[in-house]
Structure 1
Amino acid sequence: MGLLPASCQPELCEEQGGQPRFHFQSLQLEREMCLASNCALARVNLSLRPRLEDGKASLAIKYQELQEIREACWDKQQRLEAYLENWSPQSALGQLQAKLDASEAESERAVELLGLPEDRPCLLLDVGCGSGLSGDYISDEGHYWIGMDISPAMLDVAVEREVEGDLLLADVGHGIPFRPGVFDGCISISAVQWLCNADKKSHSPPKRLYRFFSTLYTALARGSRAVLQLYPENSEQLELITAQAMRAGFTGGMVVDYPNSTKAKKFFLCLFVGTSGTLPKGLGTECADGEEIHQANFTNERMRFRNAKGKSVKKSRDWILEKKERRRRQGKEVRADTKYTGRKRRPRF
């Protein structure tokens, strides 16, 4: 680059202290330094561009993974909340109460199918009695009972509940260890189907079922019934149970309540000892025109203190007095009756 003519040089200088100062060469040098710096920065930026592109792609992948983790955590949180809601103390109590009501309804239906006489108390056998829920209903009906179960823990619960019946720890697959003709009837709630399982190598389901039914037939009085409520896994299991019962000498058959319902459907094996009787009809199958009833029946009668069978309503004053009187006849210590017996108390805070 050439120098400017001499005529232009005075215009590019400043007078300071009588000494001229030229900026042209310093400006050129500064410009060249800036250009060199910009060029170096441009080269560095170009060299960093692939790394930046790779970083952007990696960040996009990480963001997608975080989105999936967030959705998975949200789904787990929703399931956890639903689980906690289902197993909260209130819902757990509600489910427990529903199971207790269902067990009581099954026991009531089984005792109803026995067709027991109403003028005298009977001695019944409860196979698979568990904690004695079915026995409570039998006691409420004014009958006596003996319960058998294979679980010591369940029998301990029955003892803690102070059930009115006698308890026996035994495996029904080994037979019923009682004298011939001692029982007026037998019920079982969801227990017989377990005899179809072989828990040990020595267990043979057909032999255990035949041993149970043959000894049960001997222990029941002639003309009595056995009602066994069960949950068969398949038709083969149901056929096995029925065949062994008939082989032991029983007559009768299967009573199915609400056969067209998936939740309310119940199987009751109704067996007769000696003379064969008329097999009861299942609930939800009778109608005037031969069709299933799909509507409820209403009545203007008000059953306040007594149910349809003339029994006292559970937890009422009459029910409590009758239960205390039964315990007195059994020789148990019972508190004296007062005007406060059966009276509802206010809740405590």
Structure 2
Amino acid sequence: KISICTMASRPESSLPPELYYDDKEAKKYTQNSRIIQIQSEMSERAIELLSLPEDPTIRSSLLVLDVGCGSGISGAALTEAGLNWFGVDISSSMLEIALENEVEGGLARCDIGHGLPFRAGCFDAVVSVSALQWLAYSDRSTANPIRRQRAFFTSLYACMSVGARAVLQFYPADELQLQLLLNSAMSCGFTGGLVTDYPESAKARKHFLVLDTAGTRPMPAAQDEAGGRHSTKQQQPMRKGSKAWIMRKKEQYRRKNPDSKALPSDSKYTGRKRKPRF
């Protein structure tokens, strides 16, 4: 069973990111010392999970994509690690703050749900902190989460070099959302799985989607509360007939047939096996 990180308030369910992170919210976000600390720690952990060579000469030759770079907190961690980077974000307000802070990396405004506008094989690694979950929400009538996820993961796979790794930290709302994102990534050619740090702690738990473009590399170990590491199993796409699979199929049907009442309502019994009857 996968433990899900719960949040008191989820901005993803209120407004699209380009509207939620306006000038006021972006300024408040980047002046919050607690947020800066958490984002910096997760960025450093994402870089660690990339498993890049420690040689400074090799690192200085690599180019890393920062998806959802915001005001440049994760970019600062990449610079500190001796890596060149390029960041994309949909919030103009966040990018303006990054420019004011004179970050080392390049910046571009981009809706990742429309796909990434980069040439094939140009990035040696990818990191993302607290951005991926936005792709699981439909913030307008024309936005299809599954289609947006596929556009992102397909273009992400294309712009990564052979053997490159992406580490995407995110906050899933529930297990279904987590499995949908994982399944979307795997269906676009990636291998890898999920690394969950501090799985027994509701407060400290962090999910990292670790994706590779070629072969089957060993999955990095997750952290536990004692500061140790434990092995992480590679995740597989959702099993046909499982509750997550049934929920996804029902959601797809409802989108295609909004006026249809052919499907039964979702309940706690959805996906359960029926008892034999005489």
Do both proteins adopt the same fold according to a TM-score greater than 0.5, normalized to the shorter chain? yes
Matched letter for residue 35 of structure 2: K
Residues 144-159 of structure 1 mapped to structure 2, 5 A cutoff: 144-159=84-99
Unaligned runs of 5+ in 2: 1-27, 231-278
Residue equivalent to 1:97 = 33
Q: TM-score, normalised by structure 2?
A: 0.68
Residues 74-93 of structure 1 mapped to structure 2, 5 A cutoff: none
Residue equivalent to 2:124 = 184
Q: CA deviation at 1:243?
A: 0.5
Residue equivalent to 2:254 = none
Residue equivalent to 2:72 = 132
Q: CA deviation at 1:117?
A: 1.5
- In 2, distance between residues paired with 1:98 and 1:245? 31
Residue equivalent to 2:154 = 214
Residues 323-342 of structure 1 mapped to structure 2, 5 A cutoff: none
Aligned match for 2:216, one of 263, 276, 281: 276
Q: CA deviation at 1:116?
A: 1.1
Task: Confirm or deny that 1:171 pairs with 2:111.
Answer: yes
Q: Against the structure 1 CA distance between its residues 247 and 278, is the aligned structure 2 distance closer, same or farther, given a 3 Å change threshold?
A: same
Q: CA deviation at 1:275?
A: 1.2
Q: Against the structure 1 CA distance between its residues 190 and 179, is the aligned structure 2 distance closer, same or farther, given a 3 Å change threshold?
A: same
User: SS at the partner of 1:279?
Assistant: coil
Q: Which one has the bigger helix percentage?
A: 1
- In 1, distance between residues paired with 2:163 and 2:173? 30
- In 1, distance between residues paired with 2:132 and 2:105? 21
- In 2, distance between residues paired with 1:242 and 1:198? 18
Residue equivalent to 1:293 = none
Residues 162-220 of structure 1, C-alpha deviations (whole Å, 9 max, x = no match):
00100000100011111111101000001011011111211110010011001100101
Residue equivalent to 2:204 = 264
Residue equivalent to 2:190 = 250
Q: TM-score, normalised by structure 1?
A: 0.54
Residues 79-132 of structure 1, C-alpha deviations (whole Å, 9 max, x = no match):
xxxxxxxxxxxxx99x92222111110000000000111221211000000000
Q: Which runs of 4+ in 1 moved over 3 A?
A: 285-288
- In 1, distance between residues paired with 2:49 and 2:146? 26
Q: CA deviation at 1:287?
A: 9.0
Residues 196-211 of structure 1 mapped to structure 2, 5 A cutoff: 196-211=136-151
Matched letter for residue 48 of structure 2: E
Residues 256-283 of structure 1, C-alpha deviations (whole Å, 9 max, x = no match):
0000011110000000111110111110
Q: Against the structure 1 CA distance between its residues 132 and 258, is the aligned structure 2 distance closer, same or farther, given a 3 Å change threshold?
A: same
User: SS at the partner of 1:188?
Assistant: strand
- In 1, distance between residues paired with 2:72 and 2:227? 35
Unaligned runs of 5+ in 1: 1-91, 291-349
Superposition RMSD in Å: 1.9
- In 2, distance between residues paired with 1:143 and 1:169? 21
Task: Confirm or deny that 1:116 pairs with 2:52.
Answer: yes
